[in-house]
Amino acid sequence: MTLDSSHQANQANQHKTLRNRVLILGALVTLAIVLIALVGVPFWVSRGTFGRTFLDKPGFSIVAVNLSKEGTDCYIRSTISNTGNVYIARLTLNLNGTYVTSDGWVPPNGLNDGWERFQNYGYFHCSDVRVGQTYSAGYLSEFANGVNQSASKMLEVGPYALPPPPSWNH
């Protein structure tokens, strides 16, 4: 009888060990799923890896856009805010329908600060600009998930040099 109870105790310990291993494996798999859901999915969504998903919330806004002319030089400064959770893959600026510039990879909740002193900027020529003129600044935002959005703002050409954004003064 002692041999039989020893055998039963041994079997009980094996079952307990197997159950503990299954529980540990289950906990590790659950932890991996939670980490992927919390870290991986938002990254893949923001970079457009999955294409469009129900989690996408693309959006952007024009914080500021200014154009000025002093002598033969023109200055343009713009700030765009990515208000969504998907990267802006390309941001294109047109003034009165004339291509000016494209920039890209604005992160979610990030800013795109642009500043340029120019005579010709893209297809936009400073020689055509007059102080006091009004322009429509149009932005096309192409998100990493394939969604496009546009926004525009009216601006008047000022008679002074625009300084670069503070982040450009290193």
pLDDT digits (tens, 9 = 90+) for 24-74: 888 888 888 888 777 777 777 667 766 778 888 999 999 999 999 999 999
For the chain, what percent of residues have pLDDT higher than 70? 91
**Cα separation, 76 vs 118, whole angstroms:** 8
Residues 6+ apart with CB under 8 A from 106: 60, 80, 82, 87, 88, 91, 112
**Cα separation, 164 vs 170, whole angstroms:** 11
Q: What is the SS3 assignment for 56-91?
A: CCCCEEEEEEEEEEECCEEEEEEEEEECCCCCEEEE
Closest by CA to 73, choosing from 37, 115, 39, is 115
pLDDT digits (tens, 9 = 90+) for 11-27: 777 778 888 888 888 88
Identify whether the C-beta of residue 80 lies closer than 8 Å to the C-beta of residue 153: no
**Cα separation, 17 vs 35, whole angstroms:** 27
Fold of 60-159: Immunoglobulin-like (2.60.40)
Neighbours of 44 (CB within 10 A): 14
Determine the longest span between alpha carbons in the chain, in angstroms: 108
User: Region 132-141: what's the mean pLDDT?
Assistant: 96
Banded pLDDT at 170 (limits 50, 70, 90): very low
Map out the domains of the chain as residue ranges: 1-46, 60-159
Averaged confidence pLDDT in the chain? 86
- 78 burial (CB, 10 Å; 0-12 / 13-18 / 19+) is buried
